[in-house]
Amino acid sequence: MQKPHIRIATLILMIVSFIAYVAKFPAFPIASENLLPWSVWFFILALANIILWQSVIKLLSFSLMVIWFYAFAASVVPDTSTATVDLSSIERTPEAFVEAGEIIFNGKGKCNTCHTLDPSAPKGRCPDLSVIGSQAGTRKPGVSAKDYLIESTYEPHKFLVTGYGNIMPPVWKPPISLSELEIETVIAFLQNQGGDVDLTPFDPPVDIESAADVVEELPPLLSGDVERGKRVFVDGAKCIACHAVAGVEQPAGQTLDDGVEVVAAPDLSEIAALNSLRYIEESILLPNALIVSGYGSVTVKTGGASIQGTLVSQDNENITLRVKDAAGVETEQQIRLSELDPEPIEALTDLNANGYFWIQAALADTGETISGDLLEEDEENITLQDGGETLTVSKSKVKVQATIIDFDENVIVGELVAENEDEITLNVDGEEQTIDKFDIDEGPTYSRAFGKRLYVTSPMPNNFPLLLSVGDMSDLLAYLSTLTGTVEAAVAEGESQDEAVEETAE
Ligand code: HEC
Ligand code: HEC
């Protein structure tokens, strides 16, 4: 080559651009716009050096290019499960916050393992967040969009979106452990989904630092045997028949006990990363305590017929059930909640817990019949909403219907007037009838009201507390606590952290 100074200048510029690229300098400004990032400068200069130079420097340029290539490839294909961003020098602009928030949403925050950002996505166990920016301000009366999002991330248990359970972890707690700033960026990203980004600083409702100390003291040392626990999971309790876990196979030919049907169930590969051990334990011992939305089973009555299926989704007006016909073919069926048949209610207690959402009752003093959506219930009163009107009635003022079957198989239905140890008096069609209790074959059964209900139960077997010994249970929990996704699971299996990290990087 004729002009050594051009070669030397190209070499120096290549080294400078490489350092600038590695050190993440802001892009080289051309006409005050960040047009070409350092990686592109480096690429052009390295190519020039490979062409211009011979021997050692050609080799050096080539090696740097290989390093660049791997770094570039890695940045183009981000590792979405652990992707995180450096927020130390983030600019306080909506663009920068939204961009960082998106990475955290899909990475460290693990939000995307539960939430979708696509309104057409099948309704899962967690709300879709594609329009949360505009929805947030309407969730709780008097609470602004931003305050709602702050509460949803710091204290998700405080308000549960209708139809969803209390399973969202407070995102500042381990294992997700987002910092205040990270949460701010995620909130900006959520506001950007259909709303305006508002970066006004706020006081977090939880002091993460002092709360974190308390959290750290809590996790118990699991004394269970992980390997044994895995055998309980796969062979003993046959959890694997319903629940998938990445890398674990169901033994060929495994059958479930009589009466237990394989059903769609949540994937448990990351269960411990997303939930507390207490929640996991409760899920096994009391499957009905909290039912993962999208998996519960319900039986509803409509038009005199009973329909049994999986509750796929619900809103204020409709429910969607996945129903299996006799041939085993599954179809989805939408049912209007208002078209469910009212069923007799024997005792006016725990109406909510029993799934009642609409009540009809007759008042004893006026004879008037009232009905409406169940708003509230306490020991003495129930409050119904009928159109715009709310009515509170005392449970003791509700007419009681009694049904009696005598030994001649006559069915007598009437309003309960009086009852003592020996006799019962009913008002049957305006006439009072007193019946000796010795003459009663069946009953009396009482009905205090009629109600429409949606009673969701878990299809998961509820006899594990009987089947599993205390030792099985502690081994099982020790095993489940290793299901946190890749890295930690490998660590728990006895490898050092470094090896495990290398393994996932490969
Ligand atoms: C283990 C699953 C899970 C994870 C992980 C999770 N969430 Fe949630 N989230 C839920 C569920 C379930 C609800 C609905 C119940 C409730 O309101 O708490 C919810 C509700 C919300 C809501 C209110 C939605 C609405 O429609 O009003 C917001 C906002 C939200 N999550 C944000 C996040 C963010 C941000 C992250 C990540 C940092 C995250 N969630 C991680 C399960 C999860
Ligand atoms: C017959 C199928 C079936 C079997 C067997 C079964 N489960 Fe489940 N499990 C389900 C269904 C369906 C759900 C979701 C509904 C619910 O929340 O109860 C669930 C929920 C769970 C959850 C909560 C998951 C989440 O994402 O929040 C855990 C944890 C769990 N099961 C653990 C187990 C363990 C451990 C075993 C074995 C001892 C087991 N299950 C056996 C069907 C099953």
Sheet of 423-428: strand order equals 431-436, 423-428, 411-419, 401-406, 440-447
Which numbered ligand comes closest to the C-alpha of 274?
1
**412 CB neighbour count, 10 Å cutoff:** 17
Residue bearing the CA closest to ligand 1, atom 9: 168
Q: Relative to the CA of 480, which ligand 2 atom is closest?
A: 35
List own/partner pairs for 3-12 with CB under 8 A and 24 or more apart: 6/52, 7/49, 7/52, 7/53, 10/45, 10/48, 10/49, 10/52, 11/49, 11/53, 11/57, 11/61
CA atoms within a 13 Å half-sphere pointing along the CA-CB vector of 205: 14
CA atoms within a 13 Å half-sphere pointing along the CA-CB vector of 425: 7
| Ligand 1: centre distance to CA 156 (Å) | 7
**Residue 494 pLDDT class (50, 70, 90 cuts):** very low
73-87, 264-278, 334-348, 489-503, range with the lowest pLDDT:
489-503
Q: Relative to the CA of 113, which ligand 1 atom is closest?
A: 5
77-86, 135-144, 333-342, 457-466, range with the lowest pLDDT:
77-86
Query: For position 486, what pLDDT does the model report?
Result: 54
**Residue 135 pLDDT class (50, 70, 90 cuts):** very high
Does 460 contact ligand 2 (Cβ within 6 A)? Answer: yes
In this structure, the dihedral spanned by the alpha carbons of residues 170, 171, 174 and 177, taken in order and rounded to 10 degrees, is -150
Task: Report how far apart, in Å, the C-alpha atoms of 25 and of each of 39, 166, 189, 463 are.
Answer: 10, 44, 25, 60
Instruction: Report which of 150, 190, 187, 153 is spatially closest to residue 173, judged by C-alpha positions.
Output: 153
Rounded CA gap, 386 and 393, in Å?
Answer: 13
165's enclosing H/E stretch is none
Task: Report how far apart, in Å, the C-alpha atoms of 268 and of each of 126, 189, 195, 283, 332 are.
Answer: 15, 28, 34, 12, 25
In this structure, the dihedral spanned by the alpha carbons of residues 220, 224, 229 and 230, taken in order and rounded to 10 degrees, is 80
Instruction: Report which of 307, 225, 308, 229 is spatially closest to residue 268, judged by C-alpha positions.
Output: 229
Q: Has this prediction a pTM greater than 0.85? A: no
| Contacts (Cβ under 8 Å, ≥6 apart) of 289 | 282, 283
| Ligand 2: centre distance to CA 459 (Å) | 8
Residue 219 has pLDDT above 70, yes or no: no
Give the bridge partners for 376, in sequence order. Answer: 383
Which numbered ligand comes closest to the C-alpha of 294?
2
Q: Which two tokens stand for residue 114?
A: 């539960």
CA atoms within a 13 Å half-sphere pointing along the CA-CB vector of 80: 8
**Residue 498 pLDDT class (50, 70, 90 cuts):** very low
Q: Relative to the CA of 271, which ligand 2 atom is closest?
A: 26
List own/partner pairs for 215-221 with CB under 8 A and 24 or more apart: 215/173, 215/174, 216/174, 219/277, 220/277
Distance of alpha carbon 183 from the chain centroid: 18
Query: For position 30, what pLDDT does the model report?
Result: 54
Instruction: Report which of 223, 220, 219 is spatially closest to residue 474, judged by C-alpha positions.
Output: 223
Mean pLDDT over residues 28-44, rounded?
Answer: 67
Query: For position 505, what pLDDT does the model report?
Result: 38
Which numbered ligand comes closest to the C-alpha of 111?
1
Does 404 contact ligand 2 (Cβ within 6 A)? Answer: no
Residue 33 has pLDDT above 70, yes or no: no
Residue bearing the CA closest to ligand 1, atom 21: 152
Question: What percent of the chain has a predicted confidence (pLDDT) above 70?
Answer: 88
List own/partner pairs for 26-29 with CB under 8 A and 24 or more apart: none
**Bigger pLDDT: 215 or 101?**
101
CB 218 within 8 A of CB 472: no
Render pLDDT for 61-106 as a digit per residue (tens, 0 to 9): 888 888 877 777 766 554 445 567 888 889 999 999 999 999 999 9
Residue 216 has pLDDT above 50, yes or no: no
9-13, 60-64, 264-268, 490-494, range with the lowest pLDDT:
490-494
Q: Relative to the CA of 104, which ligand 1 atom is closest?
A: 38
Instruction: Report which of 454, 475, 232 is spatially closest to residue 337, judged by C-alpha positions.
Output: 454
Does 108 contact ligand 1 (Cβ within 6 A)? Answer: no
Give the bridge partners for 320, in sequence order. Answer: 313, 334
| Ligand 2: centre distance to CA 329 (Å) | 23
**Residue 136 pLDDT class (50, 70, 90 cuts):** very high
**Residue 218 pLDDT class (50, 70, 90 cuts):** very low
| Ligand 1: centre distance to CA 359 (Å) | 31
Q: Relative to the CA of 183, which ligand 1 atom is closest?
A: 38
Query: For position 141, what pLDDT does the model report?
Result: 82
Instruction: Report which of 278, 222, 272, 219 is spatially closest to residue 245, judged by C-alpha positions.
Output: 272
CB 271 within 8 A of CB 280: yes
CA atoms within a 13 Å half-sphere pointing along the CA-CB vector of 429: 1
**Residue 501 pLDDT class (50, 70, 90 cuts):** very low
Query: For position 102, what pLDDT does the model report?
Result: 95
| Ligand 1: centre distance to CA 168 (Å) | 5
Query: For position 212, what pLDDT does the model report?
Result: 60
Does 113 contact ligand 1 (Cβ within 6 A)? Answer: yes
Rounded CA gap, 501 and 277, in Å?
Answer: 24
Beta strand segments in 205-325, E: 297-302, 305-314, 318-324
Is residue 444 reached through a cis peptide bond, with omega within 30 degrees of 0 on the bond before it? yes
- 3-class DSSP assignment, residue 264: coil
**475 CB neighbour count, 10 Å cutoff:** 25
Render pLDDT for 274-318 as a digit per residue (tens, 0 to 9): 888 888 988 998 888 778 888 899 999 898 888 999 998 888 788
Question: What percent of the chain has a predicted confidence (pLDDT) above 90?
Answer: 32
Mean pLDDT of the chain: 84
Query: For position 74, what pLDDT does the model report?
Result: 64
Q: Relative to the CA of 292, which ligand 2 atom is closest?
A: 17
Give the bridge partners for 428, in sequence order. Answer: 431
Does 479 contact ligand 2 (Cβ within 6 A)? Answer: no
Residue bearing the CA closest to ligand 2, atom 21: 283
Render pLDDT for 237-246 as a digit per residue (tens, 0 to 9): 999 999 999 9
Rounded CA gap, 326 and 276, in Å?
Answer: 39
Residue 259 has pLDDT above 90, yes or no: no
